[in-house]
Amino acid sequence: AQSVSQHNHHVILSEAASLELGCNYSYGGTVNLFWYVQYPGQHLQLLLKYFSGDPLVKGIKGFEAEFIKSKFSFNLRKPSVQWSDTAEYFCAVYTNAGKSTFGDGTTLTVKP
Amino acid sequence: SQTIHQWPATLVQPVGSPLSLECTVEGTSNPNLYWYRQAAGRGLQLLFYSVGIGQISSEVPQNLSASRPQDRQFILSSKKLLLSDSGFYLCAWSVPGANTEAFFGQGTRLTVV
């Protein structure tokens, strides 16, 4: 069975600090990978996605993620966080139509 | 453009009462439809997904059931709620036949008392 592990449950950073959120998955076949974000009081929305091609993908608001197949990882990064990045972040894996697995989420708090 | 509607936004129900949460999608045909439960610190758990009318796949055994009576309507039900059914329920849809991202509704906060 597929699974997704997000290593950090709660991350606290100061503005302008760099961010890296870890995501590892377990599945032996082809996967599509996603990062979703949920800002306070808002619904889940897509941050970025990887299907194939360049393993470094760029998303909205300056976020990027790198797919490392050998490590089964899809870590999310941002060089300089802002207070408005405070949110909960979810990594997700899709292996075939309709089958998805989400990580437990990482709460990011950015101090102004 | 496509939109997803989920209601009600909040619900308080007594133990043993029935449940019906409704989700509808507009602006697309034959979407993949999903019901998730989001628990604090536990991420999203996929409960049910559907690739077509009357086609429901259940991911975890539980006190809940799902139905898809129409192409763009997805209903989450229970005959008798348990305290443990309390949580935040999310409906989502995705483009059929492809592993694209899911688009989520606003969610329903269910409290069973």
Contact at CB, B41 and A104, closer than 8 angstroms? yes
As a whole-number percent, the residues of chain B with pLDDT over 90 amount to 65
pLDDT at B38: 87
Determine the pLDDT at residue B93. 92
Q: Sorting pLDDT into bands at 50, 70 and 90, what band is B71?
A: very high
How many CA atoms within 13 Å lie on the side-chain side of A29? 5
Average pLDDT, chain B: 90
Chain B interface residues (partner A, CB cutoff 8 A): 32, 34, 36, 41-46, 49-51, 57, 90, 92, 96-107
Cite the beta strand spans of chain A per DSSP E.
Answer: 3-5, 10-14, 19-21, 24-26, 32-38, 45-50, 56-58, 64-68, 73-78, 87-96, 99-102, 106-111
Residue with the larger pLDDT of the pair B62 and B13: B13
b vs e for A26-44, b when ≥16 Cβ sit within 10 Å of the residue's Cβ? eeeeebbbbbbbbeeeebb
Which residue in the set B43, B51, B99 is minimally distant from A102, CB to CB?
Answer: B43
- Pairwise CA distance, residues B89 & B107, whole Å: 5
DSSP-derived secondary structure for chain B: --EEEEE-SEEEE-TT--EEEEEEEES-SS-EEEEEEEETTTEEEEEEEEEETTEEEESS--S-EEEEEETTEEEEEESS--GGG-EEEEEEEE-TTS----EE---EEEEE-
Is the minimum CB–CB distance between A32 and chain B shorter than 8 Å?
Answer: yes
Give the closest-approach CA distance of B18 to chain A in angstroms. 26
Query: A34, B32: Cβ pair inside 8 Å?
Result: no
**For B80-92, what is each residue's pLDDT tens digit?**
999 999 999 999 9
Subunit contact B46:A46, Cβ cutoff 8 A? no
Tokens 């950090």 label which residue?
A8
Give per-residue pLDDT as tens, A36-94.
999 988 888 899 999 889 999 999 999 999 999 999 999 999 999 999 999 999 999 88
- Asked if the C-beta of A43 comes within 8 angstroms of chain B's C-beta atoms, the answer is yes
Picking from B36, B99, B103 by the largest number of A CB atoms within 10 A of its own CB, the best residue to mutate is B99
pLDDT at A110: 97
* Residue with token string 């998955």: A25
**A103 → closest Cβ in B43, B98, B100:** B43
Contact A8, A76 (CB under 8 A): no
**How many angstroms away from the CA of A87 is the closest CA of chain B?**
13
Give the residues across from B75 on adjacent strands: B22, B67
For chain A, first and last CA: distance in Å? Answer: 41
Asked whether residue A107 carries a pLDDT value surpassing 90, the answer given is yes
Task: Using CB atoms, pick whichever of A43, A90, A99 lies closest to residue B107.
Answer: A43
